[in-house]
Amino acid sequence: MDRFLTAYTDLAKGKVIKSESPDFLIVSDSETVGIEISKIVNEKNPGDNFSPSERNAVEQKIAQLALKIFLGRHKVPLHVDFAFRDSIDVRKGKDKILADKLALLVADHVTQQELTDHFHLQIDRGLPKELMFCGISFFPGITDSIWYSAKGQMIPNLSKDYLLRIIQRKEAKVDEYKLRADRLILLLIEGVVPESWFDRIDLIPADELNTRFDKILILRNLHDEIVTVK
């Protein structure tokens, strides 16, 4: 809240009161402004098996399990990145089956190489159906193995559909908020990890935004930037 008040200077000065429904009240001589705060967590989209954060955790787990299997068979330090498909299904032990496939995939390509000079392989054929591509690098003299989900590290965009879902959930409590405030601000807080902060924010066209909040704002994390949704 302190960060928001420093970054957003359009509010009349007043007493800040920690509250509930909404989270804060700013009481000035002229009005009471209610501020409801919600953190952006980048939930899963309709039809997806996992949210971005859940998918990233699953993909990284598979990559680490594949590394363990590979090193149990081959003592070759490698830098390996996997790009998984969004439709990945790892229920009922399929994560272990997939990890074994990935370990075999890497072994099949590495055992054909001379381990004396640096090499990099970009593999996009003959892959398990869950994988889009795989990159394998070998560096002479490097003893650490690094295997990870490359796609899991990508910064997502904040889509307008996701924004609308957040607003619609908060909209259900507007009547309760209005009992305590003359004006209402919905403040969305961007997070600090790759699944909760965003490369681009897709704003909602005015004709698609149906809300009783007077203002909807996003507080971006890196530079305390305020993005106005409404």
Extents of the domains making up the chain: 2-42+156-228, 52-153
Find the mean pLDDT for residues 207-223. 90
Confidence (pTM) = 0.62
Task: Give bridge partners of residue 122 from the DSSP assignment.
Answer: 135
Average pLDDT, the chain: 87
pLDDT, tens digit (0-9, with 9 covering 90-100), for 156-201: 778 888 889 889 989 999 999 999 999 999 999 987 666 567 778 8
Phi-psi region of 188 (alpha: psi -120 to 50; beta: other; left: phi over 0): beta
d(CA 230, CA 216): 5
Structure tokens at 93: 């032990």
pLDDT, tens digit (0-9, with 9 covering 90-100), for 63-112: 999 999 999 999 999 999 999 887 676 666 788 999 999 999 999 999 88
pLDDT, tens digit (0-9, with 9 covering 90-100), for 116-154: 999 999 999 999 998 999 999 999 989 999 999 886 555
Nearest to 188 by CA among 23, 12, 37, 3: 37
Q: Is the dihedral of CA 91, 96, 101, 103 positive or negative?
A: positive
- 217: pLDDT confidence band, cut at 50, 70 and 90? very high
Q: Is the pLDDT of residue 50 over 70?
A: no
Nearest to 126 by CA among 105, 155, 148: 105
Predicted local distance difference test score (pLDDT) of residue 155 = 62
Is 40:202 a contact under the CB 8 Å cutoff? Answer: no
Is 155:198 a contact under the CB 8 Å cutoff? Answer: yes
Q: Which position has the higher pLDDT, 119 or 42?
A: 119
- 222: pLDDT confidence band, cut at 50, 70 and 90? confident
d(CA 225, CA 139): 41
- Give percent above pLDDT 90 in the chain: 52
Predicted local distance difference test score (pLDDT) of residue 102 = 96
Structure tokens at 202: 């897709």
- 51: pLDDT confidence band, cut at 50, 70 and 90? low
d(CA 163, CA 193): 18
CA angle at residue 80 from 101 to 131, to 5 degrees?
45
What does the H/E/C string look like for 48-106? Answer: CCCCHHHHHHHHHHHHHHHHHHHHHHCCCCCEEEEEECCCCCCCCCHHHHHHHHHHHHH
